[in-house]
A and B are shown apart, each in its own frame.
Chain A
Amino acid sequence: MTNEAIKDVVFRALKRVAPEADLTTLNPAADLRDQLDLDSVDFMNVIVAIHAELGIDIPEADYRKLASLEACVAYLAAHGA
């Protein structure tokens, strides 16, 4: 999967949880939860949506490695996406 395709998966997951968000203005290096005002329930729904699409079982201890959009894409690419 290309990084662009992985990014689309992440965007779809974010859109489900925060449909009002303008993802085109996201700073890819900055914290996702801060930028989109996501709480732990929202973030869990994002991880569940990514898992549903890619089938990658992200351990809870790795959630912090998914803090920014860049980090998300890099992590998922490194774990078989």
Chain B
Amino acid sequence: MPSLGADMEAGTIVEWRVHPGDRVKRGDVIVMVETEKGLVEVEIWDEGVVEQIVTLEGQKVPVGTVLALLRTDGAPPVTAASFPAPLTGPARPALPQATPTVAQVTGRPRVSPVARRRAEELGVDVANVTGTGEHGAITKQDVERAAAGAAVPTPPAPPTAATPIAERHAAMRKVIAAAMARSKREIPHYYLGTHIDMSRATQWLVAENLKRSVPDRLLYSALLIKAVALAVREVPELNGYWVAGAFKPGDGVHIGIAISLRQGGLVAPAIHDVDTLALNDVMRRMLDLVQRARTGVLRSSEIADATITVTNLGEQGVETVFGVIYPPQVALVGFGKLTEQPWAVGGLLGTRPVIAATLSADHRASDGHRGGRFLSAIDRLLQAPEQL
């Protein structure tokens, strides 16, 4: 079970998309998993043949549990299917944390990364904790109970995959609460803001869209996202994670897009390698990502590995965003409403379409001077929209 976010502890298998004997390749969706953030299509990062399905549909298992066994090409021993690394580090090794093996299923108890961190915080030795998760895995609650010296409850009955909507919203609210509380508790935020003249960007966009057919048109938010991606390449200490007391740079520029869900709640899935994508591709992926986020299913790689997040609240009429960083990321870029503003250039006052860009950044990883350079870079890039 891959970790699909810093605070994920467990997931429920909803539907297998592969069967024993099926051949899979990197990027294939092999299983649908339900998490607190909704349904996720989990992709695989190896090539080979599915040997055995270990975790069955309807089972809820902690992060790190073996879901299936895969026979990789040219390798006789069966290995556990590997997934992208959890959000405890930026690297994406071929196999995540302690590579789960068949022996591990009956061997020492598994401990979710969240539980392990909690155990460290509370000074609890996990060897002395009784796990109540699937196959005796140790959850955060088990660690907290052990710390409090409380009795271990009987394991709950396995839930069904189709959780009622109200329950799912409550669960999502809890996940957001945990992440945001952790952010405000642990991350020393600093905030910078600037106003950006968007007249060149909007004029270019209008002219460009006149030449384009409906499906190929651009929205200005695609320009903002691409500008952020190029700007963060110039200030790489804003792109990555704060993990175990140190900054770990991202393995690419994966921009998380904060998407509010109409039924309530928020997800911030990533568009990968935005700095290397053509503007048209950024736009296409944004349309696709927003639609999938709001109508159902995201993929595991999109959920787990954003290296910096962009939130655009302008359409809600917000002038300026003062964002909360999504841990373990170290920066969040906010954009407000695009409005006509009085704007003085060369001693002359006119009006321009203006947008407020803000940066919330982790002061452990970067300083205001570099944050300022980042905002200036976004401004500079938006003055040459044709080059984005």
Contact = CB atoms under 8 A, between A and B. Distances in A.
A18 B262 contact: yes
Given A18-B294, A40-B221, A51-B214, A45 B287 contact: yes
B221 A41 contact: yes
A40 B214 contact: no
A65 interface: no
A14 B221 CA distance: 21
A37 B290 CA distance: 13
Interface residues of B, number: 19
A48 B263 CA distance: 23
Interface string B255-274: 00000001100000000000
B128 interface: no
User: Secondary structure of the B side of the interface?
Assistant: helix
B294 A17 contact: yes
B310 to A, nearest CB: 13
A60 B287 contact: no
B198 to A, nearest CB: 15
A28 B213 CA distance: 27
Contacts of B206: 60
Contact of B286 (A18, A41, A51): A41
Interface string B200-236: 0000001001100111010101000000000000000
B295 interface: yes
Contacts of A60: 206, 209-210, 217
Given A37-B262, A41-B219, A48 B315 contact: no
A20 B262 contact: yes
Interface of B: 206, 209-210, 213-215, 217, 219, 221, 262-263, 286-287, 290-291, 294-296, 315
22 contacts: A16-B291, A16-B295, A18-B262, A19-B296, A39-B290, A39-B315, A40-B219, A40-B221, A41-B291, A42-B291, A45-B287, A47-B214, A48-B214, A48-B215, A51-B213, A51-B214, A51-B215, A52-B215, A57-B214, A59-B210, A60-B206, A60-B210
Interface of A: 16-21, 36-37, 39-42, 44-45, 47-48, 51-52, 57-60
